[in-house]
Structure 1
Amino acid sequence: MEIKELTNREEWKSAFPVMKQLRVHLDEEHYLQLVEEAARSANYKMFAVYEGGKIVAVTGFMPMMTLYNGRFIWVCDLVTDAACRSKGYGARLIGYVEQWAKEKGYGIVSLSSGLQRKDAHRFYEEKMDYDKVSYVFLKRL
């Protein structure tokens, strides 16, 4: 198993089949446009877990700063290929993000998870020791 940063359009494209399992509303071109813009304007980072040369899990995150959290990492995306779940890939990947954050001087890793994603909530709270500290509110304009 290897964890590698994905830094260009070709690498981001290779992660799309796994990312699409989380971001089902995106087609490949729109996904690539969003990743390119986020990487350029918001320092979005993408990392993937490779097993046997194949991507089995992907995460995307952004270093951020707010008055509430100070300097922190916001995990935008975290998904393991459906055929590879419950093998520890997600835990290894979020652990990698946490270590990356510590090494870069960030004291918090934060994320949001859709209300319907009960398995993900159990994973974050029970396996990864994350605390549920707020609700995220959204208004589409």
Structure 2
Amino acid sequence: MKELTTEEEWKSAFPVMKQLRTQLDLDTYLALVSESVQKEGYRMIALCNQKEIVALCGYMPMITLYNGKFIWVCELITDSRHRSKGHGKILLDYVQQWAIDNDYPIVSLSSGLQRIDAHRFYEEKMEYEKVSYVYLKKI
């Protein structure tokens, strides 16, 4: 497990992140990660097999009137060649422990409607509750 904190490390994670965030090119990705780290407290962790990144998680602490203090999981992705090996659970367990250690009582995330396998993972293996829909309007 390694926290990625430099542009070079973020760049090395891009091939895996691109599997989830297909709309991003490298320059846009690096700019968004940098700004999110600086302004929002975004953190990115990688699970590595030797030096190869096999899974990533991006998360940030937040406060809203709905949840109070909580951690928002922005991204969770395992490289397509390394799925179903427990990597997602390891990353979410890490985030949950980080939340406990830093006094955040809730971990929350959203998942695309088409990601049926991910929903099963969150609900059955990780014991997350489905509590709402997320709506989006592009303007």
Separation in structure 1 between the aligned mates of residue 109 and residue 98 of structure 2, nearest angstrom: 15
How far is the alpha carbon of 1:97 from its aligned partner? 0.4
How far is the alpha carbon of 1:63 from its aligned partner? 0.2
Separation in structure 2 between the aligned mates of residue 127 and residue 29 of structure 1, nearest angstrom: 35
Secondary structure at the aligned position of 1:31 is classed as helix
| Partner AA of 2:116 in structure 1 | K
How far is the alpha carbon of 1:96 from its aligned partner? 0.5
Q: Which residue of 2 aligns with 1:76?
A: 74
Q: Which residue of 1 aligns with 2:23?
A: 25
Separation in structure 2 between the aligned mates of residue 136 and residue 127 of structure 1, nearest angstrom: 22
Q: Which residue of 1 aligns with 2:108?
A: 110
1:87 counterpart = 2:85: yes
Separation in structure 2 between the aligned mates of residue 28 and residue 64 of structure 1, nearest angstrom: 26
Offset from partner CA, 1:36-62 (integer Å, 9 cap, x none): 000011010000001121100001011
**Matched residue count:** 139
Given the two structures, how large is their TM-score scaled by the length of structure 1?
A: 0.97
Separation in structure 2 between the aligned mates of residue 87 and residue 70 of structure 1, nearest angstrom: 33
Offset from partner CA, 1:100-122 (integer Å, 9 cap, x none): 11000000000000000001000
* Gap runs ≥5 in structure 1: none
How far is the alpha carbon of 1:68 from its aligned partner? 1.0
* Aligned sequence identity (%): 63
Given the two structures, how large is their TM-score scaled by the length of structure 2?
A: 0.99
> Alignment RMSD, CA only?
0.5
* Gap runs ≥5 in structure 2: none
**Shift >3 Å, 4+ stretches:** none
